[in-house]
Chain A
């Protein structure tokens, strides 16, 4: 799969704007994210990883700077357009009851369905494809509330695949998972980016695993800086215990 710049970020400042005050979480972020690559966002708790992801997803307006998605400014996308470009997997745990896995993954087709949200034969085929890509066709008739955390995470990834967006953002997809599931989910995401040419950008705490699967790593510090580089260039400063790129 060819590597192309899908997301360009220029002099981006992120944070929260109140009526009278602005709380900047990070600033001066400039980099690009590419298709066919798995990019991992690393950083301590409270460094602002979720804020960055929320800003890139269009949930939160940037304080300043420019985000360009597929050659078009993020702010010029309508909600509907954006739904076909960016798919997300969030940390918010949905308290869904009485919904089957197929139905939930089918919700990913919403941007393409009509007024009543009825799935066409083609939509159902896309749902089946998404389930097999993630390797969970056997879960298709299970109720969502009976799934384990790992299974649920895979279902949400299948939902994002059914959404057929070139870009997928995942906020802490490995949190709450046991070690084998973490490995499985990250390998799955790496494979999806390389084989399907998706742009996958995720935040995680699992440094070691991330360094093993990531094509590119972003490092976010509590001081509000973001550095990016190749995983093999990331080093620990023996004196301060901090990470930095060579």
Chain B
């Protein structure tokens, strides 16, 4: 039992290393593996174009995919546990809609009001989009946390979260309607989600923020395990359920906010990966599921990024299409299996 968990973790770790290297290796320009290895370790390579492709494009992109996948999967796991709902995902509380709303305000309104389309301002515009996404997502999250303190039922909270998401989407719709065409296009492109957009300078700040946030989210493992038992039992075992629920939502919300701010809304990974991990490790213990989701999420995101960039597609496939193509069958299989188990009882 213990040994199989360790084996699983090691396999996931190895798959991350392999997929990361494949992400550097494969692409529209073929660079020999030996050269990639050399560039990676700072060796001198005569072909500066190769060096630029690897260090300025593929490496940041792979790193972004790895960290984003890990963050979304951990957030998804936390959401599924706190709502005791297998269909909960990182986007369920409207946090990613909040990020979209923030970006929509900046992208769509700036052209209208200031006369300068932010989307065409290059690095400043990029930064403005990231900041506005974080502000939008965190604002919605604070609203949800406030509601969470008011309402007792999980389902009520879930429905209110979904409703807030709808309202945000509706406001975005109105903004779109009154905006210039190129601004709408810039917004739509952001909404497709991408691991490639994060530029070299931003990648480090993204990785740094997530390197702080992910370990912090692990502090909640005992809380999450207790929440599995249901509010009554959790409370009887000494857990302040209301406060616990708030912290889990804050943790998942902040993770989603940051990832969405840098990569746009990435769907399905956060929903599918926790199911995948429960299936692989046959456990609901968060001391195993949290690291497993982190590793599997990183690995799957790298795989999706690789597929999206496959020769032939040449970056034409949006990452969201690939995550959904992989994620949707996973969720469907899990639900079918659960239905079978329920009927078998």
Contact = CB atoms under 8 A, between A and B. Distances in A.
Contacts, number: 78
Interface string A81-102: 0111011101010111111000
Given A88-B232, A107-B226, A99 B238 contact: no
B162 interface: no
A80 B237 CA distance: 7
B232 A108 contact: no
Contact of B341 (A96, A99, A145): A145
A159 B225 CA distance: 14
B233 A94 contact: yes
A99 B222 contact: no
Nearest to A115: B222
Query: Main secondary structure on chain A at its contact with chain B?
Result: loop
Contacts of A86: 236
A92 B222 contact: no
Contact of A113 (B222, B228, B284): B222
Q: How large is the interface on B (under 10, 10 to 19, 20 to 34, 35 or more residues)?
A: 20 to 34
Interface in B35-79: none
B278 interface: yes
A57 interface: yes
A159 B228 CA distance: 14
B221 interface: yes
B237 to A, nearest CB: 4
B84 A107 contact: no
B236 A87 contact: yes
Contacts of A108: 237
B282 A82 contact: no
A92 B232 contact: yes
Contact of B229 (A97, A107, A145): A107
B240 A79 contact: yes
Interface string B229-251: 11111011111100000000000
A96 B228 contact: yes
Nearest to B281: A98
Given A107-B225, A110-B226, A83 B284 contact: no
A212 to B, nearest CB: 28
B285 interface: yes
Given A79-B239, A88-B236, 7 more contacts: A59-B232, A92-B232, A95-B84, A96-B228, A98-B284, A117-B222, A163-B237
Which 4 pairs of residues, A with B, have the shortest CB-CB distance?
A: A83-B238, A117-B222, A110-B237, A80-B238
